[in-house]
Amino acid sequence: MSKIRKAHVLVALLAAALCVPASGAGKTSGLPTKIGKGEGKLTMIGWEGYLDAKWVKPFEKQTGCKVQAKYAGSSDEMVTLMRTGGGGQYDMVSASGDASLRLIYGKDVQPVNTKLVPGWSQFFKAFQGPPNNTVGGQHYGISLQWGPNTLMYNTKKIKKAPTSWGDIYSSKYKGRITVPNNPIQIADVALYLSKTQPSLGIKDPYELNKKQFDAAIALVKKQKPLIKKYWGLSSDEVSLFKNGDTWLGASWPVTTGTLQAAKVPVKEIIPKEGATGWLDTWMLSSKTKHPNCAYKWYGYISSPKVQALQAVTWGETPANKLACKEMDKLSKGSCAAYHANAPESYYRSIKFWKTPIADCGNGKKDCTDYTKWVSAWTQATS
Amino acid sequence: MGQRLDSGDLLAPRRGGPSFTRARRRLARPLWRLPWLRGIALLLPPMAWFLLLYVAALAVLFVSAFWSVDVFTTKVVHTWSLDNFREIVTSSAWRRVITRTVVIAFLVTLTDAVIAFPFAYYMARIASGRTRALLFVLVLLPLWSSYLVRVYAWKVILAQDGILNWSLQKAGLPAANIGYTNTAMWLVFSYIWLPFMILPVYAALERIPDSYIEASRDLGARSFKTFRTIIVPLALPGVIAGSIFTFSLTLGDYITPTLVGGASSTFIGNVVYNTGLGAAGNLPFAAAFASVPLVVMAIYLILARRSGAFEAL
């Protein structure tokens, strides 16, 4: 009998132990103050490759949190997925700058207590509270990695390295070009126009008035006959380059890395006009059922070693300062190659993705908002 | 004669038997007397399923097409308006997508009909029993593998460095540059839906009695005239039944355009997917656009009915 009673007590204690931290890390009463026992599960939406077995498997082993990964091909898909079924189906999302503000203002994500994330204090200042994930002093998520949107080309087919984005708008490589099927691509067009048609007066590629926006859309339409295919997932672009269908395209470093690993002769450059770029943030759903596992993930993914591993694997730049040394350990010279040692100036040279809104910040509200971007992009490319 | 099957008879005491039978008779009597009651009892489960799951879903889809989405929060706003439909009709981009989809669906149907007719004719009227069985297996074999796998296979075949261009090169011919084009889509659709055309045409051709053809010959008609005036009209319902499959399946597809289509290959299904799940999550607009193929199909079915295709089914 005493045995049974002991078992009862044990069960009760265990239940209590499970309940208390879970409620402690809940969403309602402010920020959680400590990380409890893991819930055994974590559902995550990530960019392709962001939930690679290389770093997810050790995490699962360490914490017992089984990761259910769902890859999304675009920021829009991420926002939609975070909202399906009233939210709460997914715990975390690796949102880029063009999605994060929409998630914050839509109340789909919750603030994070950075004190519970040791790696955060080792971050470069710029990534501790960047405007795309920090609103009103609240940190809605922890920055992850960042990088530019590059111009990739096949070195066998294109002997002379391109230097300008102009090559993807000229008929020189007609039918051999690919660009992402993503409304934010309009910013790339605007960036190019800001350098080639200064009379338009484009200062920020995400803040376009009607005239500037129309000029960008006109160029999108002009570019369409030159395009072989608009790629959706980065794996689409991989197969386009692998099978020789395209020679030149707007791309992500992860794509270049994958292709180079597969011995496809490709290189990527940042053209003279500069580049747009992204800064990704792991954000936490406001309706998450697995907050403890989520905080464990935060601690894990922002540690220097894991940051370095992801950076080297996908050719990105980590947010953690201490990751530089780890990167060189994994692959000599990679820290400098991806500007992980002195990123502040490099960071400023990139026009980071952000959600276009009507308020241009100049007192006037005549900028085209994201809905217009989406509708114009979808129609121009259909 | 229920005694043997009735477990009640075996398990219950002897007295239970007759009362059970009586109860069953009492239940059976009205069903026997009133045929309409029998009809309802038989039809109720499938009708309930049909109405609840199928018609109700379509109704919800159609109703939500009149709603809109809040620009900022992308939440659905329940105010009635025709804006979604107005946009579909007035935007040249959407008209282009609809035209493209319908034209390719039509071309695919035509191609399949032209290929399927001689094939089905051979199967139904010329081939021996053994050959026919073999041909049946060949027609159905692709359906045993996943649709996605077959489309992917075509993507690999048609790619620039794919099997097609490799073979052409070996044969000393210039490379066919058809990967990621509308031609590629037409080819893949025609391949994918061919069995759905062959089978109904075969069924129609097989049902034509030999005596009709003999009678036509006896009356002095040549082979071609017999074919034109006897076989084609009698097989036409089968062709139209097949065309309903090929046309509607092409009309609603979005995976093939995504995989083998190019920069100008957006289909109705892609717009539904992109506007609904992808950009901006505008489900009401996606719902409005999803009713376009419904309308097109309704017109198609009315035309098919006019031609008398359903009378012979």
Full 3-state SS string of chain A = CHHHHHHHHHHHHHHHHHHHHHHHCCCCCCCCCCCCCCCCEEEEEEECCCCCHHHHHHHHHHHCCEEEEEEECCHHHHHHHHHHHHCCCCCEEEECHHHHHHHHHCCCEECCCHHHCHHHHHECHHHHCCCCCEECCEECCEEEEEEECEEEEECCCCCCCCCCHHHHCCHHHCCCEEEECCCCHHHHHHHHHHHHCHHHCCCCCCCCEHHHHHHHHHHHHHHHHHEEEEECCHHHHHHHHHCCCCCEEEECHHHHHHHHHCCCCEEEECCCCCEEEEEEEEEEECCCCCHHHHHHHHHHHCCHHHHHHHHHHHCCEECECCHHHHHHHHCCCHHHHCCCCCHHHHHHCEEECCCCCCCCCCCCCCECCHHHHHHHHHHHHC
Residue of A nearest to B178 (CA): A245
Distance in Å, alpha carbon of A355 to nearest chain B alpha carbon: 11
Distance in Å, alpha carbon of A367 to nearest chain B alpha carbon: 15
Short-list B111, B142, B83, CA closest to B289: B83
For tokens 């204690």, the residue is A13
**CB B262 within 8 Å of CB B182:** yes
Distance in Å, alpha carbon of B186 to nearest chain A alpha carbon: 17
B177 CB neighbours in chain A (<8 A) are: 175
pLDDT, residue A360, reads 76
Query: 3-state DSSP call for residue B49?
Result: helix
Position B85 pLDDT exceeds 70: yes
Contact check, Cβ <8 Å, A230/B73: no
Position B11 pLDDT exceeds 60: no
Choose the closest CB to A243 out of B162, B261, B277.
B162
B179 CB neighbours in chain A (<8 A) are: 243, 245
Confidence category of residue A86, pLDDT binned at 50, 70, 90: confident
Contact check, Cβ <8 Å, A377/B279: yes
CA separation, residue B158 to residues A243, A245, A293, A351 (Å): 10, 10, 45, 38
Choose the closest CB to B179 out of A245, A374, A375.
A245
pLDDT, residue B280, reads 59
Pick the most confident of A21-30, A210-219, B87-96: A210-219
Contact check, Cβ <8 Å, B275/A239: no
A185-235 tens-digit pLDDT? 999 999 999 999 999 999 999 999 999 999 999 999 999 999 999 998 888
Distance in Å, alpha carbon of A76 to nearest chain B alpha carbon: 5
A247-266 tens-digit pLDDT? 999 998 888 888 998 999 99
CA separation, residue B38 to residues A34, B21, B30, B140, B182 (Å): 66, 19, 8, 38, 53
Contact check, Cβ <8 Å, B179/A243: yes
Residues 6+ apart with CB under 8 A from B7: none
Residue of B nearest to A376 (CA): B93
**Strands, E, within B64-135: which ranges?**
68-69, 76-77
Contact check, Cβ <8 Å, B159/A243: yes
B271 CB neighbours in chain A (<8 A) are: 378, 382
Q: Residue B290: what are its φ and ψ, rounded to 5°?
A: -70, -20
Per cent of chain B over pLDDT 90 is: 59
**CB B179 within 8 Å of CB B162:** yes
Distance in Å, alpha carbon of B52 to nearest chain A alpha carbon: 21
**CB B187 within 8 Å of CB B178:** yes
Contact check, Cβ <8 Å, A380/B93: yes
Interface test with A, best of B277, B283, B289 (most A CBs within 10 A): B277
Which amino acid appears at position A23 of this protein? S
Arithmetic mean of pLDDT over chain A: 87
Contact check, Cβ <8 Å, B280/A382: no
The alpha-carbon radius of gyration of chain B (Å, integer) is: 27
Position A28 pLDDT exceeds 60: no
A-B C-beta contacts closer than 8 Å: 80
Choose the closest CB to B97 out of A225, A374, A382.
A382
B242-291 tens-digit pLDDT? 999 999 999 999 999 999 999 999 999 999 988 876 655 788 999 999 99
Choose the closest CB to B71 out of A76, A371, A379.
A371
B264 in A contact zone (CB under 8 Å): yes
A105 CB neighbours in chain B (<8 A) are: 72-73
Short-list A159, A157, A152, CA closest to A179: A152
B284-293 tens-digit pLDDT? 999 999 999 9
Contact check, Cβ <8 Å, B281/A83: yes
Distance in Å, alpha carbon of B151 to nearest chain A alpha carbon: 14
Record the pTM: 0.78
CB < 8 Å from A in window 219-258 of B: 258
Residues A349-355: what's their mean pLDDT?
A: 85
Lowest mean pLDDT among A44-48, A156-160, A365-369, B290-294: A365-369
pLDDT, residue B186, reads 97
Choose the closest CB to A244 out of B160, B262, B263.
B160
Query: 3-state DSSP call for residue B77?
Result: strand
pLDDT, residue A23, reads 39
pLDDT, residue A29, reads 45
Residue of B nearest to A374 (CA): B279
Short-list A328, A381, A22, A6, CA closest to A178: A381
Contact check, Cβ <8 Å, B278/A379: no
